[in-house]
Amino acid sequence: MIELILGQVLRFGADAMIEGPGAARVEARGAVALRAGRILDVGAAADLRARYPAAQMTDMGQKLLSAGFIDTHVHYPQTAIIASWGKRLIDWLNTYTFPEEMRFADPAHAAAVAKTYFDLALAHGTTSMCSYCTIHPASVEAFFLEAEARGMRALAGRTCMDRATAPAGLRDTAQAAYDESKALLQRWHGRGRLGYVLTPRFSPTSTPDQLLALGSLWAEHPECLMQTHLSEQVDEIAWVKSLYPQARDYLDTYETFGLLGANAVYGHAIHLEPREMARLVEVGAGLAHCPTSNTFIGSGLFDTAGMAAAGLRVGLATDTGGGSSFSMLRTMAAAYEVAQLRGVALHPAQLWYLATAGAARLLRLEDKVGNLAPGMEADLIALDLASTPAIAQRAARAETFWEALFPTIMMGDDRAIAGVWVGGKRQR
C-alpha cells in the first residue's frame, strides 16, 4: 500500500552549513509517498498524485513536511530534573544529576522515565536521538525497549564512571564497564532500528584504566559510535588538567586511551585549544552543539559556523536535563541566539539542517533518517507554521518561505507539531 502525504515540503540536497539556503529544496505544494515504512518518492503534489493514483491520501494542507528532528545528545534519565535552578556544571551534577541517576537502579523507575521521555520527544517532533543512560544496565534496557516498542531509530549507551569523583552507588570498575557495555552492545546494536553507543561519561569521572578498557572495546567494535563530553566549562577543564597532569589538553585524555576517532561524538566542545581543534578535524570526529544547556548551565558560546567551516560535522542537541527544553525548535532558537552573540546570523535553512540532515550525518545515519528522499526511512513530521497567535501574525507578514518559517523556529514549541510519522506509521 502506498500513502501520499500532501503539504509544503522541505528537504536538503547538500550541506546547508556550507551551501546556505541553496542546499534546501522547498516545494510549496508538495507530497511525500510512503511504502512499507520507507519514503518511496518526494516531489510536487500534482506529479505524485498522477504517478500514484491508487495511493491513500493524507492532506496536511499548508503544514510543513520535514524529516523528523534528531537530538544528537540527550540524557533521558535527567528528564525529571530538567530546569533545576542555580548551579554550574560540577555542582549541578552533584546536586541534581547524580542523585536522580541513582534512582535508575530500580528498573521500574527506569521504565517509567523512559516512557515519559519518549512521549515528550515525539510530542516535540523528535523521531531519533542519541542518549546517555546511567551506569545501570536496566536504564539501557528501559531505553531500548521503549524505543523498540515505538519502532524508532534510536541510539544509546550505558554511562560509565569508576572514579571516586562520582558518588558511591554510581560507580563501576574498568572491568565492569567493559563487560557490561559489551554485553549490552551485543544484545542491542543492530537489533531492529537500534544502535549501541560506547559512553564514558567524561574523563573526570573515569580512571585511565576505565578509559583504556572502553578504548579497547571500541577498537573491537569500530562500527559503533563513542560519545562523551569535551571542554564544556572552564572549571571542568581545569579539573581535567589536575586529574590528568600528563595530558596535553582535555582531548588528549581521550586520545591517549583510544577514545578519539571518526565515529566519536563529543558534546559541547566549547573551549577548544588549537591542537584539539586540529586533531578533531584531522580524524573527522563530530560535535554535538547543546545551546540551551550551554546558556542554562553557563558554559559558553559554541562556535557553530567556525566548526562547520573547519569541516567538522555538527548536530544540534537538547542535552536534557542540562538543556532547558525537549524541543529542537527551541534548541534551534538558542543556536541562533548564541551565534548572534558571536557575530554570526545562522540562516533558518542552516538551523533546520543542524536539527535534521546534519544531525543524521553527525550520527552516521545520513543514509537512513534526517531527510526526505527516496529510500530513506519514513520518519517525518508536519509543522503548523501558525501554531500560536504571536507566530501566526508574524508569519502572515512573511514574503518568503524562510520568513514564514523563522517565527516557528524562534517561538515554536510542541504546539507546532501537527503530525509525526515513525517508520511510516502515524504516531500523533
Segment lying near Zn ion (by CB under 5 A), choices 16-24, 173-181, 210-218, 261-269: 261-269
Asked whether position 75 contacts ligand GUN by CB under 6 A, the answer is yes
Identify whether the C-beta of residue 333 lies closer than 8 Å to the C-beta of residue 410: yes
Asked whether position 291 contacts Zn ion by CB under 5 A, the answer is no
Q: In terms of Cα–Cα distance, which of 241, 224, 214 is closest to 364?
A: 224
- State the DSSP H helix or E strand holding residue 32, giving kind and residue range, or none if neither: strand 24-35
Q: Which of 195, 200, 267, 423 binds Zn ion (CB under 5 A)?
A: 267
Residue type, 152: M
Nearer to Zn ion, 41 or 319 (CB): 319
Tell me how long the chain is. 428
Asked whether position 322 contacts ligand GUN by CB under 6 A, the answer is yes
Which residue of this chain has its Cβ atom nearest to ligand GUN in the complex? Answer: 322
Nearer to Zn ion, 267 or 291 (CB): 267
List the alpha helices (DSSP H) in 342-377.
348-355, 357-362
Shortest reach from residue 201's CB to Zn ion, in Å: 8
Q: Which of 150, 229, 279, 313 binds ligand GUN (CB under 6 A)?
A: 229
Largest CA distance in the chain: 68
Identify whether the C-beta of residue 265 lies closer than 8 Å to the C-beta of residue 362: yes
* Interacting residues of 255 by C-beta distance below 8 A, sequence separation 6+: 279
Please tell me the count of residues contacting ligand GUN according to CB under 6 A. 12
Q: Give SS3 for 232.
A: coil
Q: Give SS3 for 153.
A: strand
> What nine digits make up the cell of 62?
499548508
Q: Which of 100, 236, 319, 413 binds Zn ion (CB under 5 A)?
A: 319
Shortest reach from residue 180's CB to ligand GUN, in Å: 19
Cis peptide before 321 (omega within 30 of 0): yes
Segment lying near ligand GUN (by CB under 6 A), choices 27-35, 89-97, 134-142, 325-333: 89-97
Site for Zn ion in 358-397 (CB under 5 A): none
Residue with grid cell 589536575, as numbered in its chain: 242
Asked whether position 320 contacts ligand GUN by CB under 6 A, the answer is no
Asked whether position 97 contacts ligand GUN by CB under 6 A, the answer is yes
Nearer to Zn ion, 320 or 387 (CB): 320
- State the DSSP H helix or E strand holding residue 280, giving kind and residue range, or none if neither: helix 274-283
Site for Zn ion in 181-240 (CB under 5 A): none
Q: Sort strands 24-35 and 286-289 into parallel, antiparallel or unpaired.
A: unpaired
Asked whether position 318 contacts ligand GUN by CB under 6 A, the answer is no
Give CA angle at 237 (232, 243), nearest 5°.
135
Q: Which does residue 293 bind out of ligand GUN, Zn ion, none, counting CB within 5 to 8 angstroms by kind?
A: ligand GUN
> What nine digits make up the cell of 276?
584539539
Cα gap 294→338, rounded to integer Å: 9
Asked whether position 419 contacts Zn ion by CB under 5 A, the answer is no
Q: Which does residue 358 bind out of Zn ion, ligand GUN, none, counting CB within 5 to 8 angstroms by kind?
A: none
Q: Which does residue 97 bind out of Zn ion, ligand GUN, none, counting CB within 5 to 8 angstroms by kind?
A: ligand GUN
Shortest reach from residue 76's CB to Zn ion, in Å: 11
Asked whether position 293 contacts ligand GUN by CB under 6 A, the answer is yes
Number of helices and strands in the chain (H, E): 18, 16
Nearer to Zn ion, 269 or 307 (CB): 269
Q: Which does residue 16 bind out of Zn ion, ligand GUN, none, counting CB within 5 to 8 angstroms by kind?
A: none
Site for ligand GUN in 175-204 (CB under 6 A): 201-202
Asked whether position 315 contacts Zn ion by CB under 5 A, the answer is no
Asked whether position 71 contacts ligand GUN by CB under 6 A, the answer is no
Question: In whole angstroms, how far apart are CA 1 and each of 4, 38, 151, 156?
Answer: 10, 12, 19, 33
* Interacting residues of 218 by C-beta distance below 8 A, sequence separation 6+: 198, 224, 226, 258, 259, 261
Q: Which residues bind ligand GUN (CB under 6 A)?
A: 75, 89, 93, 97, 201-202, 229, 232, 293, 297, 319, 322
Q: Which residues bind Zn ion (CB under 5 A)?
A: 267, 319
